[in-house]
Structure 1
Amino acid sequence: MKIIKISAVATLISLSSAIAAAELNSPELTPFGAERAADPAEGIPEWTGGLEKKPINQSGGKFHTNPFSDEKPIAVIDRANMASYEQYLSEGVKALYKSYGTYSINLYPTHRTMSAPEEVYQNTKLNTTRAKLVKDGNGIEGAIGGIPFPIPKSGIELFWNHIARWQGVYYEDTSGTAIVDVSGKFSLLREQNKVLVNYYNKNNPADLDNVLIYFVNKMLPPSRSAGEILLVHETVDQVKEPRRAWAYFAGQRRVRRAPTLAYDTPQDGYFSDEADMLNGAPDRYDWKIVGKAVKIIPYNSYELASESLKYEDILKPGHINPEHARWEKHRVWVLEANLKQGQRHIYSKRRFYIDEDSWAVVMSENYDGRGELWRVNIAHTLISYEVPTISPQLTVYHDLTNRTYTALGLKNQEKIPRDFSAAIPDEKFWTPGNLRRMGVQ
């Protein structure tokens, strides 16, 4: 009898995979599983392959030319007229309007600019028949080099689509993190990042060694911790094996295992599992798909990333300068996470808005233990069309209680923005033994 049950389950899984593969091959969907069709009533165009008018001669490590520099906002949404757009605004954005009379949104025409290399599309197609959840959704196996679940059937599959989304194979960048007080004054931390997305650098899932991403972060002057270096091996199944982390301390010239960098461990104005909007182990929450909706979200944020802007032009009291932020209407998946009975986390409930074309979380709302909306996070992205992939240019973490915010990823005053053209370091680079060598260079 047990054999029959196992066989039946295997048949159902195989059938489900076959259906997902057939759906992804449908002309109604993009290679990433988004709705290809336009929605003229909402101003959403058909997806036709991504950015259509790519600026010529764009090379790695250069600031992007804005392909939409000649466009003007079709509407400016402020407190006076926000009721007319209420259905398109997330609860978090509504809270920002309520908190700040100076808050507004410049709404522009929608451009579905997301695209990826053909190899990533093909791997996404293959993942429909080989990717599966393991350990109650705390990990995935079988998937490699593409979106794991382009036809998601559950909230936990949506979670993994963001975690394993296409964001390039390797990149380097130098950026600033500004901690902005109530008056608009800010302190700036500078850091250099080197990131290898192992999931997109391997051809066989068995070669991952449970490592999704390798990450090196070096603090730069004028940061008080300048010279400190952090090495992270971001594991796929973090319940089975928590992320591995080591730190080099410049004053001691020693390498040590880093303290826990997970869940709600405080960082500079946000918590560990809010980096990249959402990361880490999903085990403390129940995840559910709320549905799909048309929302006004930040998109194609080329002006906000411009080298012509200074940080003082961007960072204002309460929120960033709305003049430089671009918002568009897009279809999003709405994902909700509710804290499990008996689990602990500073957030009791979280809601995420995931761009259907890229699977990137672009907005989130985070509720405290009393069920009150506490923090609102917003990721301003653009398409790095030389790759191509979607890239976060500025992520803003708003604390509604103390009216402060943290702006992570500022690159406007750096010489080089995110660079996808740099050579990938060899395997020894990503080892604890190399940390001290990097520290004394």
Structure 2
Amino acid sequence: MKSPLVNSAALFISLLASSVMAAVTPQEADQLGTSLTPLGAEMAANADGSIPAWTGGQSTSTGPVDPRGFVSNAFAAEKPLFVITAQTAEQYRDKLSPGQLAMFKRYPETYRIPVYPSHRTMAHSQAVYDTTKTCATTVSAIDGGNGLQNYLGCRSYAFPIPKDGLQVVWNHITRYRGQNVRRQIIQAAPQSNGSFTVVKFEDEVAFPQNVDGLDAEKASNILLFFKQRVVAPSRLAGNVLLVHETIDQVREPRLAWIYNAGQRRVRRAPQVAYDGPGTASDGMRTTDNFDMFSGAPDRYDWKLIGKKEMYIPYNSVRLTQPDLKYDDILQAGHINQDLTRYELHRVWEVEATVKADERHIYAKRRFFVDEDSWQIALADHYDGRGALWRVAEGHHYFNYAHQLAGFATETLYDLVAGRYIVTGLFNEERQPLLFGFKASAADFTPAALRSSGVR
């Protein structure tokens, strides 16, 4: 028979293995809306006022919205405070990422960072703020941080007062995204000479609380449903990807299917995860590069480096405007930096290192996460030799009409190949964003893919 000491040790190891990471106390949660914003950012301005205090963000009446859903640029009249170039980058080193510094070296004549006045535009409804505060005291990380306990009903930022690096990343993954949305976007991977072919997508994103006929047990571990139909070019048109994005992907891996229009067949797609190639990406991004980082976090050890002030792409409404053509934005080496906007903001810095018993083409990643929106703003990706390989920039913009932050575009620069990929532009699309469409569970089944893929 085992001794009581052995039994106690076994129980302790069992509890440790489950790795339940406790939620914050009610006293800690009381900081939300007082010293911290309702989403967990520092409410106060920084020491010299270059980052202003948060005073509520942009309201729904900030400006006009055209019939196609394009919001106006509230900062169109502003001019850059200064422009960082390869010649001046060194004096701003403490506020730039290693990836940004590498871009100055790779493209010394053309890459630049125009820095504008900082505006803290992030805002949500009071209902989202109330839910975030309640869930701060109830949601816990389980299974070594790979899953969330008591998250059903929150559907918002899991850890507004994070205690470690993985909790910061969970805030990016679980950030509030509002209603179901249908969007028309493009992806392009310009050659080194700047020539490119546009890949057009029609995406549908639906959330369990907004999906009719969904089984409650199924909904408990679903973060979202995602369907992506390729519209162009013709050789890819009609192909459809379906994803059931689970929360704990170790307990229940992400489910994915692809409908191939040429073969008229639906197949399971286990490769749509981790470092599997991104859809129609010409090998220029991984699946988990989508949305700056998405999917399961279990292949990495996560370390919270801390918080710092950095120049990050922010309030990039100019990049969403319908008067721009894709030719205006996409150039050789990188996007047209004259159309970009960077601001000084506080970010959380998190480092991810591949576990000894796991594999990924990115051996290390470093994320810089905006404190106000919890979106990843910058991401550096290192290869197995420790060399910086790819640099990502998420060009944040705030859609005041729907009180949602998003990306005007995501860019991923390959420093070795001298190429890059852009995802999410919608300037030339007929109706880029449609919020609030009705969805049923039957719409997001493998059987529904065939009808979705009709050319």
Deviation at 1:145, TM superposition (A): 2.3
Q: 1:220 is matched with which residue? A: 231
CA 1:200–1:109: 2 relative to 1, 3 Å: farther
Q: 1:301 is matched with which residue? A: 316
Q: 1:98 is matched with which residue? A: 105
Q: 2:451 is matched with which residue? A: 437
For the residue of structure 2 that corresponds to 1:381, the secondary structure is: strand
| In 2, Cα distance between equivalents of 1:121 and 1:406 | 35
Deviation at 1:59, TM superposition (A): 6.5
Residues 8-87 of structure 1: pairs in structure 2 closer than 5 A: 16-24=24-32, 27-41=34-48, 43-51=50-58, 54-58=61-65, 61-87=68-94
1:423 to 437, 443, 449: 437
Deviation at 1:42, TM superposition (A): 5.4
> Which runs of 5 or more structure 2 residues have no equivalent in the other structure?
none
Task: Give the partner amino acid of 2:35.
Answer: E
Deviation at 1:399, TM superposition (A): 0.2
Give the superposed CA RMSD: 2.6
For the residue of structure 2 that corresponds to 1:304, the secondary structure is: helix
1:372 to 374, 384, 387: 387
CA 1:411–1:308: 2 relative to 1, 3 Å: same
| In 2, Cα distance between equivalents of 1:283 and 1:14 | 19
Partners of 2:59 and 2:123 within 8 A in 1: no
Task: Give the partner amino acid of 2:78.
Answer: E
For the residue of structure 2 that corresponds to 1:158, the secondary structure is: helix
Cα deviation code 1:49-69 (max 9, x no counterpart):
111584344367411100011
Q: TM-score of the superposition, structure 2-length normalised? A: 0.90
Residues 395-434 of structure 1: pairs in structure 2 closer than 5 A: 395-420=410-435, 422-434=436-448
Deviation at 1:40, TM superposition (A): 4.8
| In 1, Cα distance between equivalents of 2:148 and 2:216 | 10
Residues 87-166 of structure 1: pairs in structure 2 closer than 5 A: 87-101=94-108, 102-143=110-151, 144-166=154-176
Partners of 1:60 and 1:386 within 8 A in 2: no
Taking only the aligned residue pairs, the percentage that are identical comes to 41
CA 1:326–1:86: 2 relative to 1, 3 Å: same
For the residue of structure 1 that corresponds to 2:172, the secondary structure is: helix
Residue 187 of structure 2 is aligned to residue 177 of structure 1: yes
Deviation at 1:43, TM superposition (A): 0.5
Residue 229 of structure 2 is aligned to residue 229 of structure 1: no
Residues 232-247 of structure 1: pairs in structure 2 closer than 5 A: 232-247=243-258
Task: Give the partner amino acid of 2:77.
Answer: D
2:326 to 291, 300, 311: 311
CA 1:15–1:354: 2 relative to 1, 3 Å: closer
> Which runs of 5 or more structure 1 residues have no equivalent in the other structure?
none
Task: Give the partner amino acid of 2:42.
Answer: E
| In 2, Cα distance between equivalents of 1:59 and 1:198 | 29
Task: Give the partner amino acid of 2:126.
Answer: E
Cα deviation code 1:275-309 (max 9, x no counterpart):
10011111111101100000000011111111111
Partners of 1:64 and 1:384 within 8 A in 2: yes
For the residue of structure 1 that corresponds to 2:53, the secondary structure is: coil
| In 2, Cα distance between equivalents of 1:307 and 1:211 | 34
| In 1, Cα distance between equivalents of 2:21 and 2:185 | 44
Partners of 2:364 and 2:381 within 8 A in 1: yes
Q: TM-score of the superposition, structure 1-length normalised? A: 0.93
Cα deviation code 1:305-361 (max 9, x no counterpart):
111111111111111111100110000000110111121111111000100001110
For the residue of structure 2 that corresponds to 1:234, the secondary structure is: strand
Partners of 2:408 and 2:425 within 8 A in 1: yes
CA 1:377–1:60: 2 relative to 1, 3 Å: farther
| In 1, Cα distance between equivalents of 2:371 and 2:327 | 33
Q: 1:346 is matched with which residue? A: 361
Q: 1:325 is matched with which residue? A: 340
Partners of 1:60 and 1:419 within 8 A in 2: no
Deviation at 1:385, TM superposition (A): 0.7
Cα deviation code 1:129-174 (max 9, x no counterpart):
1101111111112122221111100111112111101122211111
Q: 1:186 is matched with which residue? A: 196
CA 1:327–1:64: 2 relative to 1, 3 Å: same
| In 2, Cα distance between equivalents of 1:205 and 1:75 | 53
Cα deviation code 1:23-67 (max 9, x no counterpart):
325x11000010000115151011011115843443674111000
Task: Give the partner amino acid of 1:166.
Answer: Y
For the residue of structure 1 that corresponds to 2:127, the secondary structure is: helix
For the residue of structure 2 that corresponds to 1:180, the secondary structure is: coil
| In 2, Cα distance between equivalents of 1:96 and 1:21 | 40
CA 1:42–1:341: 2 relative to 1, 3 Å: farther
Deviation at 1:417, TM superposition (A): 2.0
| In 1, Cα distance between equivalents of 2:216 and 2:169 | 19
| In 1, Cα distance between equivalents of 2:219 and 2:344 | 37
Q: 2:206 is matched with which residue? A: 196
40-49 or 373-382, which deviates more:
40-49
CA 1:236–1:180: 2 relative to 1, 3 Å: same
For the residue of structure 1 that corresponds to 2:317, the secondary structure is: coil
Partners of 2:24 and 2:161 within 8 A in 1: no
CA 1:136–1:83: 2 relative to 1, 3 Å: same
Partners of 2:59 and 2:400 within 8 A in 1: no
Task: Give the partner amino acid of 2:173.
Answer: I
What count of residue pairs does the alignment treat as equivalent? 436
Partners of 1:20 and 1:128 within 8 A in 2: no
Partners of 1:199 and 1:213 within 8 A in 2: no
164-173 or 396-405, which deviates more:
164-173
For the residue of structure 2 that corresponds to 1:162, the secondary structure is: helix
